Structure 1
Amino acid sequence: MPTHRGWVAVGAGLALWVSARLLGSRDLHMLAVGIVVVPLIATLFVRWSKARLDVRRHLSSARVFPGTRVVVSVTVANRGRSTLPFLLLEDALPPLLGRPARMVVSGIPTRNSETVSYSVVCRQRGRFSVGPLTIYVTDPFGLARANVRVVEGSEVVVYPEVEEIQAGGLATQGSGAGDAAVRHLYRSA
């Protein structure tokens, strides 16, 4: 599928072709056809590059407390027969953890892998899903992009803050009425 840049190139090529027709210039005709054909070739290149990937996500810690930084590492291994072109990795995050993480991996040779990392700071307690990870293959000029693989999410649990209770102070004695009258707290020795 052509990217925004690819569609702009096709539109510019068509506009140049119309201008070449009006001016009667053969050289501009050839240039216009070339500009229109390049995004189409890029789209075919991206679709035919059979990417066989092995993708793993690793969290530095799956259970944390508020304010803790979690490092997310994504390893992409090329299991195909040819070098992979540019890859765009986009890991979805819930709004409380931040904006989706985007990383670019360029040219992974056959039987090699590359690891990229990013970090998120967990500010609120709760259960959050990091991911899913979507991988897009792009051509070197950014004219076409294809969705290759989606990796399921990983879970991060943020525990509530724990406050220590000081074991000191005076013993209290209730002076209320009703149920509160029978509650007496004494410091045991």
Structure 2
Amino acid sequence: MRPWQVFLLILALAFFAVSSAWKVLYVLTYVLLVIFVLSWIWTRFSLRQMVFRRNSSSGRVQVGEMFDEELMLDNLSTFPKLWVQIADGSTLPGHWAGYVASMGGRKRARWRARSICRQRGRFQLGPVMAMSGDPFGLFRRHIVLAPSKEVLVMPRVYPLANFTLFTGGLPGRGKHSRRALQTTTTPTTIREYVNGDALSRIHWRSSAHYNKLMVKEFDLDPAVDAWIFLDLHDAVQAGEGEESTEEYGVTIAATLATYLLQQDFSLGMIINGEHREVLSLDRGDRQIERVLELLAVVTAGPGPELKEALAMDSFHFGRNTVAIVITPSNSQDWHESLRHLKLRGVQTAVIGLDAASFEERPPDEDTFSLLEGSGVPVIHVKSGESIAQVLETGSVVRSR
């Protein structure tokens, strides 16, 4: 029964009690009035001195990992809570942190919420609402116990032992690198001191060991920059959810970027999607974080087609640059842009996503073979294939 209905009932009983002077009606009127007032007072105090806390391991998690948080509700007053319902406004898919408790004075309720993260993106935890009321169900009270906070679900990253395009050695890191005449950050070996060697190049520990002066030799610093170009133009995407070219492309980009940065490459990334995103060249763990943060939120969209995007961003690719294009596009329009980069001395490679396999339709014409004939290495990735295995040992046609 709603409060206004009870109030009208009290007024009606009071009217008939006065007009009839029947004692029973007076008693009913007083009883309902007392219940009405006490219920309102109970409701006003039902959520006082309630404190909510949530503790999670981190505000960042990767797809496929468990997001686990501990939630606590404390009643700091001596007034018991007949029932308290906790509602969590989280937008993280599959994550439910709601709870219903009956609490005595100065008691604590504790529970856990666990969910497997299936979707990358930036999500909201909270706000946390509490609802309670009186024993008769006449009144309800809602308050906000905790504001919202963000959790970032980053794309899955597969560990790689090697990258199939570089099985012959990473660019700039071959065994036949030239010795530097000047001191660099890449010492490789030692040799015996000869007249004219700088004293700063003497390796004193080896000199003491061999009982003669030994000097360090240095390689030229690796000067190869790596760029990953991720094509998320919505017109060429296929599939839905986890089994889509969009998610495969993002996962491949995250896995490959992490591997190259762990190999001490200087890496940049260009994403052609709903928004054009350019991540400048950098190296190290901080760049890995930037890459994963960017890939967590990118989505396919009506950006420029791959041909136009490659032309716009070609100035990023100079000599001694590795450019890896990840795309499901089966068009030949952008092939010429890639060949042009190759003529400029850019080492190009393509990771081609087989869009037909993501929609279970007959395969399209294999236009990637035209690139392979031009000397551009291509890795083919189909729906359901192990991304790590394909990147490590997948079938690839190398330059002829």
Q: Normalised by the size of structure 2, how large is the TM-score? A: 0.36
Higher Rg of the two aligned structures: 2
Matched, 1:31 2:190: no
Q: Structure 1 stretch 141-150 or stretch 75-84: which is displaced more?
A: 141-150
Residues 72-111 of structure 1 aligned to structure 2 (within 5 Å): 72-94=69-91, 97=93, 102-110=98-106
| Deviations 1:10-51 (CA, angstroms, capped at 9, x unpaired) | 344445556767887542443244334423211112324683
CA contact (8 A) 1:14 1:36 kept: no
1:59–1:106 distance in 2 versus 1, CA, 3 Å: same
2:41 partner amino acid: L
Look up the SS of the partner of 1:106 in the other structure. strand
1:108 partner amino acid: G
Look up the SS of the partner of 1:10 in the other structure. helix
Partner of 2:145: 150
Identity %: 26
Partner of 1:135: 130
1:124 maps to which of 119, 125, 128? 119
Look up the SS of the partner of 2:103 in the other structure. coil
1 CA distance for matches of 2:138 and 2:38?
Answer: 9
1:180 maps to which of 339, 343, 347? 339
1 CA distance for matches of 2:17 and 2:23?
Answer: 7
Look up the SS of the partner of 1:140 in the other structure. coil
1:50–1:106 distance in 2 versus 1, CA, 3 Å: closer
2 CA distance for matches of 1:118 and 1:23?
Answer: 59
CA apart distance, 1:120: 4.7
Let me know the Cα RMSD of the aligned residues: 4.1
Query: Number of matched residues?
Result: 179
Look up the SS of the partner of 1:27 in the other structure. helix
2:37 maps to which of 36, 40, 59? 40
CA contact (8 A) 1:133 1:152 kept: yes
Partner of 1:63: 60
CA apart distance, 1:113: 1.2
Partner of 1:52: 49
Task: Report which of the two has the higher share of helix.
Answer: 2
2 CA distance for matches of 1:66 and 1:86?
Answer: 36
* Residue ranges of structure 2 left out of the alignment (5+ in a row): 169-334, 343-347, 349-374, 378-397
CA contact (8 A) 2:47 2:132 kept: no
2 CA distance for matches of 1:41 and 1:16?
Answer: 19
2 CA distance for matches of 1:144 and 1:44?
Answer: 10
CA apart distance, 1:143: 2.4
**Structure of greater relative contact order (alpha carbons < 8 Å, 6+ residues apart):** 1
CA apart distance, 1:151: 1.1
2:101 partner amino acid: V
CA contact (8 A) 1:77 1:114 kept: yes
1:25–1:60 distance in 2 versus 1, CA, 3 Å: farther
1 CA distance for matches of 2:5 and 2:114?
Answer: 34
